[in-house]
Structure 1
């Protein structure tokens, strides 16, 4: 297979950002299609579509949490590896990749066992009713059995992109997504497997993506997967670097859990399942915004990290500006699309008139703050790329804590539907805070890096 590699330390920064961001956007968009396509087909299962959709929606937090562990290792390790590559220290870069591979293997085994054992109380806690539990239990059991493939496909892909092979990283995700699109209708409808077929198709698709990703990293790039003894201090550092983006994804699960529980509680027996089905549709559509935007902000982190390691502050500044502009441009377009076409978009999930009307309203509300959200993504991931993990972690926690508090508080005063306003309110507030913090710490961080590099060079002389 022929693959082009981009040199992160040379050439036009805007072209580099575009070259990494566009494939990463596409990869993340396609990655979102895994759950989106499942939910589209599940929502259209004759007779039980709405209940099955609500059941799979209850599984959403666990599915998100499982994949976020791949991001914890992959994004944290790839940032550290890119910095070492920028320093010209390829030996340590190889050691980082080898230890991250071991981390993914160990985490997949622990998570598979843990979630299979605890799935019933977790699903009940997360909002599964007697009517939706059978669908949720079936989907989660099969999906969790394929955790190894999911974590490897997500985690290892970052190490392809950070070496400049953005199109290969995109191809790895496309392989799985195309397979899922083909297999879903076959398993769900042709083989009459229903929800079990959706989960089986997803696991098989993730296996194909995982196999391609592992093959490439074992055989092709300059920094390949190798065997080594576990370096636990290095593993802890990788986890520390990857914790802020992991927290962003993992706390999405907490928000989904809180929202499902709140909607079930305040909606009651009459509206609870319908509101959860609505939230499932809305959150699936929202992922079409946050997924690609994460592709822009995280997919371009390698440029910031590499040039930060090489003490090229001018290129770091230019890349940070380009990333923010891309995020803002993308969210402006998506805001217009979702506000104008909400009814047509949710129609692909359901034909039920009342659920369609409710979901269109929920989607318009949920996306009111997506333009400010671009600032949050670009600035938090930018600070993570510069190894400011504590700062980015604090900003992530601030947004997620506000989101959860608003999700819990608003329905208590204004009814169950008010939970949908938590997203735009949290997005606007956190964007203001993150933008301000970034302005205050960005330049001092670059100055410190240049000072320490000059000091080290002086000592060597």
Structure 2
């Protein structure tokens, strides 16, 4: 049997492959694995920090929201560049795709440096804002002062991941993340305990791992293993290229930041009405919910490359087929996962706690949050379909709905009338309203695509491109 060459294994998949389901699985499953690896990475990192002491855990916890906001900026730019690159490749314009990718890599460096300076200048104020007490403030400041220097590395790594995914190479992204994760796990005990750096050792281990990951991407782009050519000669600032990236990416960043704010408010109200038990119970349910979202988000990330490519190629039949396949796959998983979480809510809650009161709150929250979760797949596919089409305003409107203009107002209204039950009602109503709105819009868009597909397989999309970003 002939061994597949390494270059062929890491080469991008053919985004025009007629076997749509197989292609989506090939692209989506490595993305799912990458997201899962990242989640496990943070968990194990926390375990090593926990071996130092409770104050160190508290310090890294209050730093986390700041790092999440940095990640939100990177994620927004990543989604924006991925959709723009996919459309350019589908339109048969690899040079524009390379210019887009190269320009965003160039911009990530000054942006990361500005964020680093801002964090260093205002680190104490930021940490106090996110709840650092006097006891943990010195530890948190020291840790944040070190990880602030990794902001540029974080931005570059996120962008590189999305660029590789956009050209159909989720495998390289997955293996790079796995290598980064493995190196970080090896370095954590060495830096923390052997060199006796303590909490600072965890930060140094993360930075070294990021440098290694970026080294892998440097080789990937330098040797042109993929389709794109990320090079200095393509790095001139072009507003016509940057505009569609920002219009798609900014709502994604805003959504992530709103999610952080919403969860802060959620846990504040849960703690106000039910104390630490309320925070713990709701926290367990949200952790289980997030775990269920990972496969759907991963599949949609892989599928987004196919959708963007089909839109760029003006192939409405393929766009419709890929959307339908993604909708079936993600909805089937959402329904199965949601029903299992609802039916087994008490055994699931018992996995996380032996406290009867906390388990009861967790079980109740699990049921209420996983009823609307069965529609999460449809909402996610609508979002990536709109992003692939460049319909920035509508994508942004859907993106910020659940944790923005639905959840936050509900949290400020319902608990005032119904106390803790109002908190739970907000967690049910926000995704339920988002699901209803998303389903209505998705039906309209799929009908438009079906009409175009039946009348002309290769169409200009004039009837649905009024919001397309040029």
Query: Common fold, TM-score beyond 0.5?
Result: yes
Q: Deviations over 1:129-149 (max 9, x none)?
A: 445545544443333321112
* 2:84 is equivalent to residue 75 of structure 1: no
* 2:254 is equivalent to residue 247 of structure 1: yes
Q: Deviations over 1:337-394 (max 9, x none)?
A: 68365346536xxxx9589748855873655543222222121122111111111111
Check 1:276–1:114 CA distance in 2 against 1; reply closer, same or farther (3 A cut): farther
Check 1:443–1:211 CA distance in 2 against 1; reply closer, same or farther (3 A cut): farther
Check 1:66–1:46 CA distance in 2 against 1; reply closer, same or farther (3 A cut): closer
2:20 aligned residue: 13
Task: Give the Cα separation in 1 of the matches to 2:103 and 2:269.
Answer: 41
* 2:352 is equivalent to residue 346 of structure 1: yes
* 2:115 is equivalent to residue 111 of structure 1: yes
2:264 aligned residue: 257
Check 1:127–1:418 CA distance in 2 against 1; reply closer, same or farther (3 A cut): farther
Q: Deviations over 1:242-294 (max 9, x none)?
A: 23333332322222333355456x269xx46x766766665555433333322
Task: Give the Cα separation in 2 of the matches to 1:306 and 1:96.
Answer: 15
- Secondary structure at 1:223 match in 2: coil
Check 1:162–1:256 CA distance in 2 against 1; reply closer, same or farther (3 A cut): same
Shift of 1:15: 1.0
Q: Provide the alpha-carbon RMSD of the alignment.
A: 3.3
Check 1:434–1:46 CA distance in 2 against 1; reply closer, same or farther (3 A cut): same
Which region of structure 1 is more displaced relative to structure 2, 421-430 or 51-60?
A: 51-60
Which region of structure 1 is more displaced relative to structure 2, 440-449 or 312-321?
A: 440-449
Residue among 424, 447, 450 paired with 2:459 = 450
Give the conservation status (yes or no) of the 8 Å contact 1:301–1:385.
Answer: yes
Extract unaligned runs of 5+ from structure 2: 1-5, 464-470
Give the conservation status (yes or no) of the 8 Å contact 1:267–1:416.
Answer: yes
1:316 aligned residue: 319
Residue among 200, 217, 220 paired with 1:216 = 220
Shift of 1:431: 1.1
TM-score, normalized by length of structure 2? 0.82
Q: Deviations over 1:212-249 (max 9, x none)?
A: 22321232222121123211332122111223333332
Shift of 1:98: 1.3
2:366 aligned residue: 364
1:326 aligned residue: 329
TM-score, normalized by length of structure 1? 0.84
Task: Give the Cα separation in 2 of the matches to 1:295 and 1:196.
Answer: 32
Shift of 1:173: 1.4
Task: Give the Cα separation in 1 of the matches to 2:47 and 2:281.
Answer: 13
Check 1:117–1:345 CA distance in 2 against 1; reply closer, same or farther (3 A cut): farther
Task: Give the Cα separation in 1 of the matches to 2:402 and 2:94.
Answer: 36
Aligned residues: 443
Extract unaligned runs of 5+ from structure 1: 455-461
1:199 aligned residue: 203
Check 1:369–1:208 CA distance in 2 against 1; reply closer, same or farther (3 A cut): farther
1:425 aligned residue: 429
Give the conservation status (yes or no) of the 8 Å contact 1:383–1:438.
Answer: no
